[in-house]
A and B are shown apart, each in its own frame.
Chain A
Amino acid sequence: MELLALEFACFAYLTAAAAYMTGIAYPSDWTRRLGPWALGTAFVLQSLSVVLHVIDTGVIPVEGFTEGLAFFAWLLVATYVFVQRKQEVSVLAAAIAPMAFLFTLLAIEFYSERTVLPESWQTPWLTVHVTLAFLGNAVFGLAFVVSLVYLVQERLLKSHRRAWMIRRLPALETMDRLGYLFLFWGFPLLSLGMVSGGVWALSMLGKFWTWEPREILSVITWVLYAGLLEFRLVGGLRGKRAAYLTILGFMVLVVSYIAVTLISVPGARHGGVYTS
């Protein structure tokens, strides 16, 4: 059932991606209607699959690397839906829906390779840690997407051409403001995610900090985002440079997540592939 729900969600994400992307090039009534409808359906279906997983196993679906990605996509869509209710940013969905499609597809592909977590790891802190950390990452993900849109719009405005495209993207200032807002909200989430991770490690291994590569990279990411936020908050960093740095920050985040997962040493507990 869980897999079936995820498969349908995946298909709905594909539909949403097609609708939103077509909507940018050829906006029409049906793209405007189909996009939100498909994305909403996909989100509900994936939520169902998450709930089923929790009922089945007692933990959130983050045991495997690709499952983690799908869970991340779920949170990304959730934050997008939350933001979209307050501010028209549907152009972001053109990037988020394909991402969600890809991640859920990967999760489905590698579904059988699920690893069961050792009993001792399954404390509530796991859920708290992963949810907070992933939520932080999802909000940074949105910051990344708005920064991309900012750069595209910036380039279009400077080029004096393709006014039709300029018209379909939000104002530069909106993207800049949202980029800042997402950093502002993502940072405490990331911080809480890290602290709760330490608490989880403490409850599991009796140690708060283990010098594991993932932990070190997390701290580097944290410092990077702290610096970025500081510059925006106090240094008046904005516009194109802020967008570039936000993109860079997110790339470091993604690369460290993937790298640590792929090169995870035996005994390492992170990144989903538990090699113990």
Chain B
Amino acid sequence: MSRQLSILGLNHRTAPVELREKLAMTEGRGEGVLASLLTHDHIEEVVLLSTCNRVEIVYCSREGPIETEEMTGFLVEGTGLSVDECVPYLYSFENREAVRHLFRVASSLDSMVVGEPQILGQMKEQFDASVDAHSAGPVLHRVFHKSFSVAKRVRSETGIASRTVSVASTAVDLASHIFESLEGRTVLLIGAGDMGETAARHFQGAGVKDIMVANRTFENGVALARELGGTPIPLERLSNYLPLADLVVGSAGGGEMLSAKEVKGLMRERKGRAVFFIDVAVPRNFDPAINKIDGAYLYDMDDLSSVVEENLEERQREAVKGEAIVEGEVDHFWLWFEKLGVIPTIVALREYAEEIRNQELERTVAKLNGISEEDRIRIDHMTRSIVNKLLHRPTSVLKREVRPDEETRMLSAVRKLFSLEDEL
């Protein structure tokens, strides 16, 4: 009997978004697919993974792998798509490769934005759903939990997630290298554009206190200010409010709103206290010459994007370290997986018993000083036969009487009961 761990699926690299959308395991559909999968004779355990970038069936089967076409049938269930339409976009992994793939996915090495943190949470959720549906057994339990801990290792031991990769979070990161802290700072938002709003929300998340919104159409400014819990200000009075702001975000349409000359005056008024200008508008709201003024730091969309670019490259470099960690963990896991058979388990059980027998024997013989060699052999024989008799029944049950579909569970239980597990 050969137990097989397999993955069949598609992701953002292999399939277009239209197809991924159709195949996504929405709540109702996912349950149905899971139920059908469990009716398959050879499938012992199964977990469905579905995010906006991937749809995968992770399963454990007996009697070798299952035909791709057959598995694809489950994947397209209820979508109206045909198997042939999907097959060209699919990938499949077996055993070791499957373990590696799962570890890489959890560690966000396989993500569209390498290092993004959401995937781990999504995986945990969907694994839990499978546990609730009783479709995940000991093998998938092990491989998923292991993948979560590998992901944590990769995250903490590499810089894979240490760099901001969105424009707004990069702006926050830069701001925190101008200002000691963003707590209690004031942001002035010029324009009610989406990018500006996103930036403002990121700054709020970082502790910024007040948000002022100046917009050409005052009503829109009021609406956004209300949403952000800020204060709307009339655009004509901008120069009165400007000196109060430590961070000025421009996302207004219609070009330049602030000249270098105005900012020079502003800096005098602020007695040189730094201001961070973030220009996310196209065409730009702030005169590029502002960056030349002492204490004024100006980043426009291009500047922020180039930092994001640099950060992405750094993540790629860190990802190489992540791959190495994954590789080592796959080896380790695979050792365990291969041992999860009847014979290795019996051997381990015997070794464990023999170890205890030897220890106790030695201890006792040492205490009984001056016992004859004959007596020692007698004691040895007695302990040996106790161990043998104790182990006889579980051993024969494992060898003969376990139903194939129960085997994994049983072996896993035995290994757990006697702590035969390797440190994983």
Are B307 and A236 closer than 8 Å at their CB atoms?
no
Q: Digitize A231-261: 1 where CB-to-B-CB distance is under 8 Å, 0 elsewhere.
A: 0000011111100000000000000000000
Against A, the Cβ 8 Å flags (1 = close, 0 = not) of B287-310 are 000011011010100010011001
- CB-CB nearest in chain B for A169: B177
Least CB separation from A177: chain B residue: B180
CA–CA, A138 and B176, complex, Å: 29
CB neighbours (8 Å) of A237 from chain B are 272
Give B284 Cβ to nearest chain A Cβ, in Å. 14
Q: If A163-B311, A241-B294 touch, does A173 touch B303 (CB 8 Å cutoff)?
A: no
Of all chain A residues, the one with the shortest Cβ separation from B303 is: A160
B272 touches A171 (CB 8 A): no
A238 touches B272 (CB 8 A): yes
Partner of B180, one of A153, A163, A173, A236: A173
**Complex A-B, nearest 8 residue pairs according to Cβ-Cβ distance, in ascending order:** A236-B271, A173-B180, A160-B303, A163-B307, A174-B180, A171-B180, A239-B272, A171-B177
Q: Which of B179, B180, B271, B294 has most A Cβ within 10 Å? A: B180
Contacts of B295 in A (CB 8 A): 239-240
Q: Which residues of chain A have C-beta atoms less than 8 A from B420's C-beta?
A: none
Residues of B within 8 Å of A166, CB to CB, are: 174, 177
Identify which of B178, B273, B299, B311 contacts A160 (C-beta below 8 A). Answer: B299
Interface residues of chain B, those whose CB is within 8 Å of chain A, are 170, 173-174, 176-180, 271-274, 291-292, 294-295, 297, 299, 303, 306-307, 310-311, 314
B274 touches A173 (CB 8 A): yes
Residues of chain A with a CB closer than 8 A to B170's CB: 163
Q: How far is the CA of A171 from the CA of B274 in the complex (A)?
A: 11
A38 to chain B, nearest CB (A): 23
Distance (whole angstroms) from the CB of A168 to the closest CB of chain B:
10
Interfacial residues of chain A within 132-172, with CB under 8 A of chain B in the complex: 153, 157-158, 160-161, 163-164, 166-167, 169-172
A193 to chain B, nearest CB (A): 31
- Output the least CB separation between A31 and chain B (Å): 14
A176 → chain B closest CB, angstroms: 9
Interface pair A171/B178, CB less than 8 Å apart: yes
5 intermolecular pairs with C-beta atoms under 8 Å apart: A157-B174, A160-B291, A166-B174, A172-B178, A177-B180
CB distance from B399 to the nearest CB of A (A): 49
> Which residues does chain A contribute within 8 Å of B177, judged by CB atoms?
153, 157, 166-167, 169-172
The CA-CA distance from A207 to B373 in the complex, in Å, is: 99
Interface size in chain A (residues, C-beta < 8 A): 22
| Bound Cα distance A177, B173 (Å) | 20
Chain B residues near A239: list those with CB within 8 A: 272, 274, 294-295
A221 vs chain B, min Cβ distance (A): 25
> Given known contacts A164-B314, A167-B173, is B178 in contact with A157 (CB within 8 Å)?
yes
Q: Which residues from A are CB-within-8-Å of B291?
A: 158, 160
Beta-carbon nearest neighbor of A242 in chain B: B272
Given contacts A158-B291, A163-B174, A167-B177, contact A172 B274 (CB under 8 A): yes
* Closest A residue by C-beta to B302: A160
| Chain A residue contacts of B180, Cβ below 8 A | 171, 173-174, 177
Residues of A close to B297: CB separation below 8 A: 157-158
Q: Which of A160, A163, A167 neighbours the largest number of chain B CB atoms within 10 Å of its CB?
A: A163
Q: Chain A residues near B306 (CB, 8 Å)?
A: 160-161
- Expressed in whole angstroms, the Cα–Cα distance for A158 and B177 within the complex equals 12
- What A residues does B179 contact at CB under 8 A? 171-173
**Separation in Å of the B135 CB from the closest CB of chain A?**
40
User: Are B174 and A238 touching (Cβ within 8 A)?
Assistant: no
Which residues of chain A are within 8 angstroms of B274 by Cβ–Cβ distance?
A: 172-173, 239
Residue in A closest to B157 when the chains form the complex, CB atoms? A29
Query: Chain B CB within 10 Å — which of A153, A173, A177, A241 has the most?
Result: A173
Q: Quick check: B174 and A236 within 8 Å, CB to CB?
A: no
Given A160-B303, A171-B179, the answer on whether A240 and B294 have CB atoms closer than 8 Å is yes
* CB-CB nearest in chain B for A27: B159
Select which of A170, A171, A238 is within 8 A of B271 by beta carbon.
A238
CA distance A150 to B310 in the complex (A): 23
Asked if A173 meets B299 with Cβ closer than 8 Å, knowing A238-B272, A239-B294, A241-B294, the reply is no
CA distance A160 to B174 in the complex (A): 10
Closest CB in chain A relative to B362 CB, distance in Å:
42
Which residues 214-243 of A have a CB within 8 angstroms of B? Answer: 236-241
Q: Give the distance to chain B from A247, nearest Cβ to Cβ, in Å.
A: 16
Among the listed B176, B273, B310, which residue makes an inter-chain contact with A171, where contact means beta carbons less than 8 Å apart? Answer: B176
Q: How far is the CA of A177 from the CA of B180 in the complex (A)?
A: 9
B206 CB to closest chain A CB, in angstroms? 13
Q: How far is the CB of A151 from chain B (nearest CB, A)?
A: 12
Minimum distance in angstroms from B166 CB to a CB of chain A: 14
Q: A157-B177, A167-B177, A177-B180 are in contact. List 7 more A-B contacts (CB 8 A).
A: A161-B306, A164-B310, A171-B179, A172-B177, A173-B178, A236-B272, A238-B273
Task: State how many angstroms separate the Cβ of B69 from the closest Cβ of chain A.
Answer: 49
CB distance from B266 to the nearest CB of A (A): 14
Kindly list chain A residues whose C-beta atoms are within 8 Å of the C-beta of B314.
Answer: 164
Assembly CA distance A173 to B160 (angstroms): 28
